[in-house]
Amino acid sequence: MLRQLWIGGAAAVCAVAILCTSNPAPRDPSRPARVSCTQATWDALTPRARAGQLFLLGVPANAADEPSPVIERLAPGGVFLTGRSTAGVAATAAATAGIQRVGSRASGGIGMFVATDQEGGQVQVLSGPGFSQMPTAKVQGSWKPEALQAAATGWGHELRNAGVNVNLAPVADVLSPELGTANAAIGRYDRAYGTEPRAVSDHVLAFARGMHDAGVVSTAKHFPGLGRVRDNTDFSAGVVDDQTTATDPDLLPFSNASRAATPWVMVSSAIYRKIDAEQPASFSAVIITTLLREKIGYRGLIVSDDLGRAKQVAAVPPGQRAVRFLRAGGDIVLTADPATLGPMIDEVLSTANSDPEFGRRITEAERRIVEAKTHLGLVPCAHS
């Protein structure tokens, strides 16, 4: 293990910042410690409300002004806006404010992560008045990192003004030059910054720094990389990477993102035969815990790729998808299908009640999530 996983305190706060310092400023003794705020917030939640924090629910971006009744009934920890919306910043801000009101009321006062995929090119969920037309990552990858950081700061401010606090970007996958556009998930849509690990890493970090400067959480995805697969896990089953290893040079963008304390990392659902041949990365403790947490030393939040509608995991019952991801070491289950949220929460609670080790695992994840929300000002005591 290169670094111990720290929960709470300055290290957990560091996990939701882009840059950490080895000598943090001393805390003002007249103000309550952030970890105390986190603890008080967590203690006040019911077990079901705590479990809800483990989930990010997909809601259509073009209908976000009508908050899903599922949010009020099941109180997920956040939502991610899906599809496409041309409504613009002001209309999106009004819609996300409504989502926050409903979600906060349902969860006892805790605000929600509001996320979207705002990468650029064909993967830009939000557009319209107030939003820039973002170029593809392929184009962004031709810019100097300093220029990309400045542009990403502007894009981040647009998101923040629209009430979005998490961007499910940037793509940290290194595209195989042999595959190019034959790579259905990344190459076909020009979502990669390039085919060389160092260049991709430099641009991933620049994009993430820009988002951080605007107050938006960034997400390096899709660990340990989708640059060498042909099919898209959203639309195909049996997606396998036969090349990537646990010491692969193409992991550099993720290891550098970890060193820079990029707040979130998204885990792929492909199978990586040379790391764990038995199961998808999203269900693999070898990949999530041993490789990402322990060997690479990542301390931020780990989110799944879609476990709701993705064909890659469709053969697994929804509740088990959530349990297997969390048991492997993940923190936030992303589901694009509202019908799966109830069964997922039920299975997580049932498993936690019968399996103390799993119960401890999700408690660790729940606390890490509440700590991250405290840092973002999404819990009431963070403002006191």
pLDDT exceeding 90 applies to what percent of the chain? Answer: 84
Check: CB of residue 261 under 8 Å from CB of residue 338.
no
User: Distance between CA atoms of 327 and 7, rounded to whole angstroms?
Assistant: 17
Confidence of residue 384 (pLDDT cuts 50, 70, 90): low
User: What's residue 41's pLDDT?
Assistant: 80
Tell me the residue type at 12: A
Contacts of 281 (CB under 8 A, 6+ apart): 223, 224, 267, 268, 269, 270, 271, 272, 275, 287, 288
Q: pLDDT tens digits for 326-353?
A: 999 999 999 999 999 999 999 999 999 9
CA distance linking residue 210 with residue 135, whole number of Å: 15
Could you tell me which of 76, 66, 90 has the C-alpha nearest to residue 163?
A: 90
Range name among 21-30, 91-100, 239-248, 279-288 with the lowest pLDDT average: 21-30
Which tens digits make up the pLDDT trace of 245-292? 999 999 999 999 999 999 999 999 999 999 999 999 999 999 999 999
Statement: residue 241 has pLDDT above 50? yes
Distance CA 281, CA 286 (A): 8
pTM: 0.90
Task: Please give the CATH number for the structural domain made up of 9-17+33-38+46-377.
Answer: 3.20.20.300
Please write the tens of the pLDDT for every residue from 323-332: 999 999 999 9
Around Cβ 4, how many Cβ atoms within 10 Å? Answer: 11
Give yes or no for a contact between 227 and 201, defined as CB atoms under 8 angstroms apart.
Answer: no
* Angle at 360 (CA atoms; ends 354, 363), nearest 5 degrees: 115
